[in-house]
Amino acid sequence: MEQTKKGRLIIISGPSGAGKGTICAELLKHMPDLVISCSVTTRAPRPNERKDRSYFFVSTETFLEMVRNNELLEYDQHFEHYYGTPKKFVVDMLNFGKDVVLEIDVKGAFQVKQNYKDSILFFIEAPSEQALYERLIKRGTESEDKIQIRIARNKLELAQRHKYDYCIVNDELDRAVNEIITILNERR
Ligand code: 5GP
């Protein structure tokens, strides 16, 4: 029987505030064959977030139950909350031949790469620490002390960027998105 072509796992990661979410939304607009995985989190929804679209918002108890049942492809705990990628959706889509985008943090990206060696890792970085700070302020979803925690984490994540397949500087949205699309098309 002819083997159907499997989809590719595309991981978009990097510091919080670097613009990963916006980049993913643009990628979906330009590449209609992509699907994006919706993560599970134990953090509370932000005012602009939509249930079951931005995240599946669950209790810590439910999250840990999912971990015990091996329902997550990867997971991590940061900023006092758990975040994880539901496995079934990703595996089903890959088997269906769809390319799947995961927008996850650095630790999660490496967990996935270990199990899915062919996954394509993109590290998205802000043009500077100042730009990252300004974006987090403009987003208006975090208090000053939480922003400082995210800035500190940015430094740790930047130190890991050499392990990625590609580093994309999000200096200008259209340019950064086009760079990713070109890479994905060339690797087909
Ligand atoms: P936020 O709270 O700003 O939505 O996300 C905080 C961080 O968690 C971001 O760096 C985001 O990429 C990461 N994140 C979101 N979903 C997942 C996930 O499923 N797994 C992991 N490991 N990190 C995630």
pLDDT tens-place string over residues 40-93: 999 999 888 887 788 999 999 999 999 999 999 999 998 789 999 999 999 999
Q: What is the C-alpha to C-alpha distance for residues 49 and 18, in angstroms, rounded to an integer? A: 18
State in Å: Cα 2 to ligand 1 middle.
37
State in Å: Cα 83 to ligand 1 middle.
6
CB atoms within 10 A of CB 14: 29
The ligand 1 site (C-beta within 6 Å) comprises 16, 20, 39, 43, 74-76, 83-85, 103-105, 107-108
Single-letter amino acid, residue 158:
L
Q: What is the C-alpha to C-alpha distance for residues 27 and 103, in angstroms, rounded to an integer? A: 12
Confidence check: pLDDT of 36 > 90: yes
DSSP one-letter code for 80: T
* Residues forming beta bridges with residue 11, ordered by sequence position: 102, 121
Q: Which CATH superfamily is domain 9-186 in?
A: P-loop containing nucleotide triphosphate hydrolases (3.40.50.300)
Atom of ligand 1 nearest to the CA of 39: 19
CB atoms within 10 A of CB 33: 9
Confidence check: pLDDT of 32 > 90: no
Confidence check: pLDDT of 143 > 50: yes
Tokens 């392990």 belong to residue: 163
Q: 164 — alpha (psi -120 to 50), left (phi > 0) or beta?
A: beta
Atom 12 of ligand 1, nearest CA residue: 104
Atom 14 of ligand 1, nearest CA residue: 104
